[in-house]
Chains A and B, each alone.
Chain A
Amino acid sequence: MKPQALKYLCVAAAITVAAAFIALPCDAQAASCCGGGSASTLVLPKLGQSEYSVSVARENYTGYWDNAKTWHKNPDGSDMNQYRLTLGAAMRLAPRWQASVSAPYVWNRNRYSSGFESNTDGIGDAVVGIKYENFEHAMCITNIESWRDLLPAVYFGASLTLPTGVSPYDDVNDSFGITGRGFYRVDGNILIEKTIYPWNLSVDLSYGTSLERDVNREYGNYVEPHRKNLGDRFGAAVRFGWGYDLPWGGTTLTPSLNYSYVREGNGEFNGQDDESSGFSSESVGASLSLANFTNEWIGTLSFSRAVKKNDWGRNFPTTDTWMLGVSHVLYE
């Protein structure tokens, strides 16, 4: 099949990778007080040369799981929200190599029963990434004619999270001003995607480790200097979608369902285990993506919910997240 034809055929594949940044956040975004606001990496479709993306999100905190995995609602009268505007860009470096950068701007809006209100904002943690595509041509198909047709598209990626956000170790008054975690983190990532039109399935796996750092300040107060590190993080996300050709202009609508899991091990404080810091979270979600005939414009609306039940997470907030994003892919 000619590349041009493939470009138009692989709607679901393009949406999956282009919208992964918007609709399939492998990172746990939750928790301004516990370190949220980091961006995901942008993925460029196979035939794309560059991509620009913008998304807005509202994350509402609904409660949390404790260390025994028991879910608790937030205190009565509280209303905690985080809003994010995330910009991303990706470009092709070589036929099989691409690079990306993304950064969120974060607004924290919190209110408690005493009447206390906090409205803060700042840039979140930015992410730069590079990806290698383990395939030469687009791997989406319409019919299975041989076993080779079943081979998926595989992206191997590496990313570096930069502590550009406001962390507890910055000059910040309290936990409500936090927009980042304050640590460099290196992640390895593998994205496996297969489209047998109109069906599409993708699996995104990542493993990351943070770099130990000096700390001499906590919430604006200078403290005895010490070394600190976060635990290693494992993330997994599965997304299943199916495409519909809409009756106008070759536009395609792709609904999808997704599930994501993230687990972070205990951090360390001067080399000692910090058993209060590890967490896990499971969430489910759905998204609707709309792509124009040429797949140059992809809009996505998604909803993700951390399941408010016992045993679906540990030591982490539960949130409902709405996201609306647009990606523009340039193929020439």
Chain B
Amino acid sequence: MLACGLLLAGCGGMMDDLNPSGADKRPAVTSGIVGEQPGQRAADFSIPATEGGTFTLSDHLTGGASPADAVVLYFTMWCPTCDSDMDIIRSSLMPIYINAGKTVRFVAVDYLNTVDVARQEIIRFSGFTGVVDVGDVAEDFFKGGMGKTVVIDKNGIIRLNEDFRNGANLKSALAAILGG
């Protein structure tokens, strides 16, 4: 027991969970400038798409070649958590915008695999555009990772950047953009 106690006492960084804080420690955000926080402007990026060619964010914003009302980036590693989140998006959220005649581009961002592997995985997730974050461009900018969900409006302003929880915040962010 002594050894276990010493082991516990000797490990730093565990106090956050032993004594959780509810303090708001988010950094101050300057709206409108390029940055990853809500209210800031998303940096443009181009990364390979699983269907071939390149996915360029600005193509899907106002003035782009294929403009959408909103773009949702979901960072996936094809794990059970990711699968579950994407399933909720497909079954509960996508139909809302399709039925409302809105164009929301749902993008599954694979930040760990090759294009060939991502192409095999995206097959099961119809409705998502598959992209592969070669060079970690999107991951580094949005501080992405498993389950990270980013909502970008048609003007390129980030409206949400957080881990997927139960879809409620994603739905609210899209409602704020699209109305309803």
Contacts and interface: CB of A to CB of B under 8 A. Distances in A.
Given A116-B112, A214-B22, A225-B24, A163 B14 contact: yes
A114 B113 contact: yes
Contact of B11 (A164, A167, A225, A272): A164
A247 interface: no
Nearest to B133: A114
A164 B6 CA distance: 13
A122 interface: yes
A79 to B, nearest CB: 12
A175 B145 contact: yes
B98 interface: no
A31 B80 CA distance: 10
B114 interface: yes
A163 B4 CA distance: 14
A68 B87 CA distance: 10
Given A122-B11, A170-B13, A275-B88, A213 B81 contact: no
B114 A113 contact: yes
A158 interface: no
B83 A123 contact: no
B166 A269 contact: yes
Interface in B38-90: 77-81, 83-85, 87-88
Contacts of A102: 4
Contact of B112 (A114, A180, A213, A279): A114
B80 A103 contact: no
Contacts of A167: 17
B139 to A, nearest CB: 9
Given A214-B22, A216-B25, A89 B163 contact: no
A223 B113 contact: no
Interface in A28-62: 31, 33-34
Contact of A164 (B18, B77, B124, B168): B18
B126 interface: no
A221 B132 CA distance: 23
A101 interface: yes
A66 B88 CA distance: 12
Given A75-B113, A113-B112, A218-B162, A123 B81 contact: no
Contacts of B81: 33-34, 276, 315
Interface string A151-182: 00000000000111111111101110000101
Contact of A175 (B17, B77, B121): B77
Interface string B5-49: 101100101101110111111110000000000000000000000
A66 B84 contact: yes
Interface string A123-155: 100100000000000000000000000000000
B21 A275 contact: no
Contacts of B5: 101
Interface in B86-123: 87-88, 112-114, 116-118, 120-121
A316 interface: yes
A74 interface: yes
A211 to B, nearest CB: 10
Contact of A103 (B4, B120, B163, B166): B4
Contacts of A33: 77, 79, 81, 146
Contacts of A240: none
A162 B83 CA distance: 29
Contacts of B147: 175
B50 to A, nearest CB: 12
A203 interface: no
Contact of B7 (A77, A87, A272): A87
A170 B17 contact: yes
Given A113-B114, A123-B7, A175-B77, A170 B16 contact: yes
B16 A126 contact: no
B22 A64 contact: no
Q: Which of B4, B14, B17 has the most CB of A within 10 A?
A: B17
Given A273-B166, A275-B84, 14 more contacts: A64-B79, A66-B84, A75-B118, A75-B120, A75-B121, A77-B113, A102-B4, A103-B8, A112-B113, A164-B18, A170-B17, A216-B21, A217-B16, A276-B81
27 contacts: A67-B84, A75-B112, A75-B117, A76-B117, A87-B3, A88-B4, A113-B113, A113-B117, A114-B134, A123-B8, A162-B8, A163-B18, A164-B14, A169-B17, A170-B17, A174-B146, A175-B145, A182-B17, A182-B20, A216-B23, A216-B24, A220-B143, A221-B143, A222-B26, A225-B24, A277-B84, A315-B84
